[in-house]
Amino acid sequence: MKSIPIFVISLILTGIFAASVSAQTLKLRAKVNATGDVVMFEDFFEGTGSSGSTALFRAPRSGRTGAVQVRRLVAAVEKLGYSWVPPSNLRSIRVSRVVATVEVDEIAALIRAELAGALPDVRNPGDLDVILPVSLATVRIADTPEAGMVINQLDLTPRTRSFRVAMSFGMGDNQVQRTIEGRYAVRRPVPVPIANIERGQIIMFEDVTWVRLADNVIGNALTRIEDMIGKSARRGLAEGRPVQAADLEAPRVVLRNQLVTVVYRVPGMTLTARGRALRDAAAGESVSVLNLSSNRTIVATATGPGQVSVTNASEGLKVASN
């Protein structure tokens, strides 16, 4: 058996390794985007295998676009033991530095959580409304694994429901600082009509539901359901809207032009007469009634549906003079 020299075996193995590396297909990406401070092998090509995380060039500044000459890229690829033949008309490749955006809603959510931890009467962030300046825009930061935002300082003025926060976005050299001022409102449970309520309708328990509304919306609205139940709507009430005390009244037991019974009681005697109410009245309210027999006007007190009473002696005489 003939022996093969060691240097011949070495040449054969080197050729096989080179052929296997060259055989790996590199496909130039349609867009080259860098997510950090350097542009990596895998940012340029598909099919880079375990070499993909190798840094090739410095990336442009955050949010900017630069260019890499093709001849430099070819040289960098060959140093890694790969072979890539660029199109004949390609002279340079555009490289963009990707940025992450922090939306205003995300900023508001973080501030809301910070406020919830600082306000003693607030249990969770969902009980807060945060009002930010309309001029506040999306914040752009470098898209890195460390990208994010933190609140460095929170200053509160509870009397005016206002706040001021110092915030940092991103990390390291790419960090962005912002100071943001705004206002907040606390959401509290409020009873509201479950559907539209017409004028004069008596409010029942099933007509009311609970919602959480910002206290700057609630104002002087009723916050106890018992202050609504059994009352009559003085005007039409809208579904889901807070109700003011002035929107309600005691139910009317006597209506204008309604025929009513007038009762006058004195010890040992009760007199009744028929009359016509001259206006609406709730129980306990005074109401003028026309005595239909004497055609005289009596001032009485509404006591129940279609019934009024007279306690004043002079008014009682008007009842008696039928």
Ranges of CATH 3.90.1210.10 domains, the chain: 188-249
Residue 5 pLDDT class (50, 70, 90 cuts): very low
Residue 316 zone, left/alpha/beta (φ > 0; ψ -120 to 50; rest): alpha
**What fold characterizes domain 188-249?**
Type Iii Antifreeze Protein Isoform Hplc 12 (3.90.1210)
- The answer to whether residue 97 scores a pLDDT higher than 80 is yes
- The answer to whether residue 8 scores a pLDDT higher than 90 is no
DSSP secondary structure of 118-165: H-TT--SGGGEEEE--TT--PEEEE--TT--EEEEEEEEETTTTEEEE
- The answer to whether residue 17 scores a pLDDT higher than 80 is no
From the candidate CATH numbers 3.50.50.60, 2.60.40.3500, 2.30.30.760, 2.60.40.10, the one assigned to the domain spanning 252-320: 2.30.30.760
pLDDT tens digits, 152-168: 999 999 899 999 999 98
Spatial contact of 48 and 42, defined as CB atoms under 8 Å apart: yes
Ranges of CATH 2.30.30.760 domains, the chain: 252-320
For the residues 129-135, what does the mean pLDDT come to? 89
